[in-house]
C-alpha cells in the first residue's frame, strides 16, 4: 500500500477540513452569472491513492465546471497526438509572469505555456483539427471519463453559452495569436475558441476529479480501472508545467512552499498531484486576488505541514 496507515491520513485530512470550514475570505468569480450564483460555502475534498484507496469529505458530490483545469488535460491530449516537438512549435513552456489572460506572447510570438488561456486555446487548435466539432469534443469528454474511471463527468451548457458571450478577452487572444501566425495552418479561430469554452464547461465533482489527479499521479494509468490513458512521458511533461505554471501568478510561491504540481480553475476547483502517491481535489469557490481557491491553497499548506509530500521533503 502506498499509504500504509490510511485511517491516520483520513483523520488528518478531516482535521484540516474542519479547520478550514470557517474560512470565508475571498470572492466567488462573477464574470458569468453561472459562477456568481454558486454557493460560496461549498467545500468538498476528495482523495484517491495510486493503488485506489479513496476518501471524500463535504460537498464532494456537488458538480462544478473544470474551467482552467481543462488546460493540463488538453495539453496531454495534444502531446499524445503530435509529440512534444510539434506541440511546442506552437506553445512555449515558460511561466509568463503575467495574468492568465493577459494579452501577451513570448519572444517567438507564441503563448508562454499551455496553462494560461492563450496556450490553452492553442492546444485546442491542435486537437483533431480535421474532425467534426462534435467528435473533437467527444474525444476530450471521453478522455475525462476514462481519467475519472466512471466518476461524474458532464457538461454545463449554461456555462458554455455564458463563456461564449463573455469572451472578448479570449477572442482578443485568439486574434493576437493569429496575427502572429502562431496557429497551425488552416485553423478555424471561431471553432477553436468555441471548443476551448466547451472544454472549460466540462463538469466534474471532487470525487471524480481526485481520480483524474490520481491517474496523473500514477503516470497516466487510472488506478481504479488500470487503463493506461496517457504515456508516462506525456504525464511527466504535463506535471512539470503544472509545477511551474499551474497556479496562475502564485505558481512560483506555490512551487516554493508546497512543491507539488497542481492546477486551479476560476470555479474554485483545485487538482493536486502527489506523484506516485495520490491525487487530491479541493473545491471551494471563493478565490483570492490571484484567482486561486482560498481554502484550496490553505489546504495545501496544511497538507505539506502534516505530511512530507513536498517534492524535496525527503532530502
Binding interface with ligand GLN (CB under 6 A): 67-68, 100-101, 117, 163, 170, 200, 265-266, 291
User: Considering beta carbons, is residue 17 or 160 the nearer one to ligand GLN?
Assistant: 160
Give the residue nearest to ligand GLN (CB). 68
Smallest separation, CB 101 to ligand GLN (Å): 5
Shortest Cβ 232–ligand GLN spacing (Å):
27
What's the CA gap between 271 and 246, in Å, rounded?
Answer: 10
Smallest distance, ligand GLN to C-beta of residue 208, A: 18
For ligand GLN, give the closer residue by CB, 92 or 291: 291
Quick one: cell of 138? 467527444
Q: Based on CB atoms, which residue is closest to ligand GLN, 119 or 220?
A: 119
What is the grid cell recorded at 84?
512534444
For residue 46, the minimal CB distance to ligand GLN (Å) is 20
Q: How far apart are CA 49 and CA 274, in angstroms?
A: 9
Cβ-proximal residues to 304 (8 Å cutoff; 6+ apart), any chain:
257, 258, 259, 260, 310, 313
| Closest approach of ligand GLN to the CB of residue 302, in Å | 24
Q: How far is the CB of 108 from ligand GLN (least distance, A)?
A: 23
CA distance 267 to 205: 12
b/e burial code for range 59-93 (CB count within 10 A of at least 16 → b): bbeebbbbbbbbbbbbbbbbbbebeeeebbebbbb
**In whole angstroms, how close is the CB of 113 to ligand GLN at the nearest point?**
14
> Burial letters for 166-184: b for 16+ Cβ neighbours within 10 Å, e otherwise?
ebeebeebbebbeeeebbe
**Considering beta carbons, is residue 114 or 275 the nearer one to ligand GLN?**
114
> 7: Cβ–Cβ under 8 A, 6 or more apart, which residues?
none
The neighbouring-strand residues paired with 49 are: 278
Min separation Cβ 93 and ligand GLN, Å: 19
By beta-carbon proximity to ligand GLN, the closer residue of 31 and 252 is 31
Q: Please give the radius of gyration of the chain, using alpha carbons only, rounded to the nearest integer.
A: 18
Coil, strand or helix at 309: coil
Distance of alpha carbon 243 from alpha carbon 294, whole angstroms = 19
Q: Which is nearer to ligand GLN, 49 or 113 (CB)?
A: 113
Task: Give whichever of 162 and 218 is closer to ligand GLN, judged by the CB atom.
Answer: 162
| Residue 59 vs 163, nearer CB to ligand GLN | 163
Query: How far apart, in whole angstroms, are the C-alpha atoms of residue 290 and residue 105?
Result: 20
User: Rounded to the nearest 10 degrees, how much is the dihedral formed by the CA atoms of 272, 278, 279, 283?
Assistant: -80
Amino acid at each position: 500500500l502506498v499509504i500504509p496507515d490510511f485511517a491516520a491520513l483520513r483523520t488528518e485530512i478531516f482535521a484540516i477540513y474542519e479547520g478550514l470550514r470557517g474560512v470565508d475570505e475571498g470572492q466567488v468569480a462573477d464574470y458569468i452569472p453561472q459562477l456568481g450564483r454558486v454557493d460560496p460555502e461549498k467545500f468538498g475534498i476528495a482523495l484517491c491513492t495510486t493503488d485506489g484507496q479513496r476518501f471524500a469529505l463535504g460537498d464532494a458530490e456537488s458538480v462544478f465546471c473544470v474551467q482552467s483545469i481543462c488546460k493540463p488535460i488538453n495539453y496531454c491530449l495534444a502531446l499524445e497526438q503530435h509529440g512534444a516537438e510539434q506541440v511546442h512549435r506552437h506553445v512555449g513552456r515558460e511561466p509568463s509572469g503575467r495574468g492568465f489572460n493577459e494579452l501577451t506572447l513570448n519572444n517567438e510570438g507564441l503563448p508562454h505555456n499551455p496553462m494560461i488561456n492563450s496556450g490553452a486555446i492553442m492546444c485546442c487548435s491542435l486537437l483533431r483539427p480535421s474532425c467534426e466539432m462534435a467528435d473533437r469534443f467527444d474525444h476530450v469528454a471521453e478522455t475525462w471519463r476514462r481519467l475519472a474511471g466512471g466518476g461524474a463527468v458532464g457538461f454545463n451548457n449554461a456555462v458554455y453559452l455564458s463563456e461564449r458571450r463573455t469572451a472578448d478577452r479570449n477572442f482578443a487572444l485568439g486574434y493576437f495569436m493569429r496575427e502572429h501566425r502562431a496557429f497551425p495552418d488552416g485553423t478555424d479561430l471561431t471553432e477553436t475558441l468555441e471548443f476551448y469554452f466547451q472544454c472549460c464547461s466540462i463538469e466534474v465533482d471532487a470525487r471524480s476529479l481526485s481520480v483524474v489527479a490520481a491517474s496523473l499521479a500514477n503516470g497516466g494509468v487510472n488506478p481504479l480501472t488500470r487503463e493506461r490513458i496517457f504515456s508516462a512521458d506525456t504525464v511527466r511533461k504535463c506535471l512539470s508545467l503544472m509545477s511551474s505554471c499551474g497556479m496562475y501568478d502564485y505558481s512560483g510561491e506555490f512551487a516554493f512552499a508546497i512543491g507539488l504540481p497542481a492546477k486551479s480553475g476560476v470555479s474554485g476547483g483545485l487538482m493536486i498531484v502527489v506523484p506516485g502517491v495520490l491525487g487530491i481535489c479541493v473545491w471551494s469557490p471563493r478565490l483570492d486576488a490571484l484567482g486561486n481557491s482560498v481554502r484550496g491553497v490553505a489546504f495545501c499548506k496544511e497538507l505539506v505541514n502534516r505530511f512530507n509530500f513536498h517534492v524535496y521533503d525527503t532530502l
